[in-house]
Amino acid sequence: MDQNQFQTDGGLARHNSNVSVSAPASEETQEIDLLLLFNALRRHILIIIAVALVFALVAGIVVQFFITPLYTATTSTYLVSASGNAGGAIGQLLQATDLTLSNNILGDYSDIIKSRTILEAVIERMNREYDIQVEQGQPTTLKEKLDLEYEDFYEMVEVTNPTDTHIIKITVTDDDPVRAKDIANYLTHYAVDRLADIMQISVPNVYDEAVVADRPAYPSLTKTVVIAFVLGAVLACGVIIFIAVMDTTVKTAEDIENRCGMVTLTKVYYEGGKKKKGYGYGSYGSYGYGYGYYGSGSSDRDAGSKGHKSQKTKTDKSEKSGKGGSK
């Protein structure tokens, strides 16, 4: 068999002359140079900071001028047991054995406090009290009557129970801190009386009443600005990394060797000027050459082409004049 022919061995083709065949370039995996990404981020650090500051500034302006702040007011109530109740006095505090029971009935307390009966009664009573104060010329507790529907009031109220405690906290959220405080206190006192009647227990003890909040609970200006700053920085870094990874242009001799498998033969550094040579490259066992122009070399080529055109025009004119003379 001729040495230039192929023979199969185990389903794989090989050449008898032991000629090695390199893998196709498409099968080579491209590694991401972490140092390259780090340098890209370092070169654009000012852009990253600028984008982050713009995000933080926009977020601060939106929070400060375009979002209505919400304030919260919270009351705290201590649960008591009906056992040991005598003469209408406050019953004994829940014992440790009653802790699981109190946690289980928290959902009952929450449903009763936020029930339609209690919430609508609070709205009606507070509005009636406002009308009486206006008629008698007394200072009003509310700035104005409550214009609330049950569904809106339900969303304003939150009932919670701290873990492993006998405490119920009632929180009211509103865009007016004074009204939030008044509603929370009125709702709490009315609700504990109704709880005692409905569940046949002693009246819970309200030991901490709501006060006027000095700062909004939502949105937090500081938290929003910090989150926006971090988000802007992360977004800017992501864009820069994406551009660096997708950039396939050759910038250094190492790029030629890594991407093309060729070794640089020579380099000519560009130091300014109109015309500078480039650099050539080739693989082992072959040779090549190349040159290029940098800077304003195109203007010289344009000037040369214009000179060539002008010389050609003069030649054409001389030929025409020669023909005219012959005639």
Residue 138 maps to a domain: yes
- Position 296 scores a pLDDT of 44
Are residues 98 and 177 part of one domain?
Answer: yes
pLDDT in tens, 270-309: 665 555 445 455 444 444 444 444 444 444 444 444 454 4
Angle CA 124–126–130, to nearest 5: 115
pLDDT-derived band at 151, boundaries 50, 70, 90: very high
Kindly state whether residue 243 falls inside one of the protein's structural domains: yes
Domain match, 62 and 116 both: no
Is residue 245 very low, low, confident or very high in pLDDT (cuts 50, 70, 90)?
Answer: confident
* Residue 210 φ then ψ, to 5°: -75, 150
* Domain span at 138: 68-208
Task: Specify whether the CB–CB gap between 73 and 183 falls below 8 A.
Answer: yes
Closest CA to 94 of 82, 77, 108, 80: 80
Question: What angle, rounded to 10 degrees, do the helices at 34-43 and 221-246 form?
Answer: 120
User: Is residue 307 situated within a structural domain?
Assistant: no
What global pTM score does this model have?
A: 0.60
Give the pLDDT confidence score for residue 224 in this predicted structure: 94
Per-residue pLDDT for 101 more than 60?
Answer: no
Nearest to 48 by CA among 248, 232, 284, 198: 232
Backbone Cα Rg of the chain = 43
pLDDT above 50 for 83: no
Closest CA to 85 of 194, 203, 218: 203
b/e code 186-200 from CB counts within 10 Å (16+ = b):
bbbebbbeebbeeee
Same domain, 260 and 276: yes
How far apart CA 199 and CA 118 sit, in angstroms, is 14
130 with 159, same domain: the answer is yes
Do 200 and 73 lie in one domain? The reply is yes
Question: Do 49 and 117 belong together in one domain?
Answer: no
Please indicate, yes or no, if residue 176 is contained in any of the structural domains: yes
Q: In angstroms, rounded to a whole number, what is the distance separating the alpha carbons of residues 252 and 264?
A: 10
Domain count, the chain: 3
Domain with residue 146: its CATH number is 3.30.1890
200 and 81 part of one domain: yes
The number of beta carbons lying within 10 Å of the beta carbon of residue 256 is 16
Q: Domain check: are 195 and 109 in the same one? A: yes
Question: What is the Cα–Cα distance from 261 to 279, expressed in whole angstroms?
Answer: 16
Helical segments of the chain, H only: 34-43, 45-65, 99-104, 106-113, 116-135, 150-156, 177-199, 221-246, 253-260, 297-326
Same domain for 204 and 82: yes
Q: Cis link prior to 219 (omega < 30° from 0)?
A: yes
Whether 18 is covered by a domain: the verdict is no
DSSP string for 298-324: HHHHHHHHHHHHHHHHHHHHHHHHHHH
Q: How far is 325 from 195, CA to CA, in rounded Å?
A: 127
Residue 214 falls inside a structural domain: no
Q: What are the φ and ψ backbone dihedral angles of 200, each rounded to 5 degrees?
A: 55, 50
176 and 161 within one domain: yes
Mean pLDDT for the chain overall = 74
User: Is the same domain home to 73 and 198?
Assistant: yes
- Is there a single domain that holds both residue 88 and residue 136? yes
- Residues whose CB falls within 8 Å of the CB of residue 299, separated by 6 or more in sequence, listed in order: 274
**For 31-56, how does the pLDDT look when each residue is reduced to its tens digit (9 = 90+)?**
667 888 898 899 999 999 999 999 99
Q: What angle do CA 234, 237, 242 make, to 5 degrees?
A: 125
In a domain, 311, yes or no: no
Question: Does residue 143 form part of some domain?
Answer: yes
pLDDT of residue 262: 78
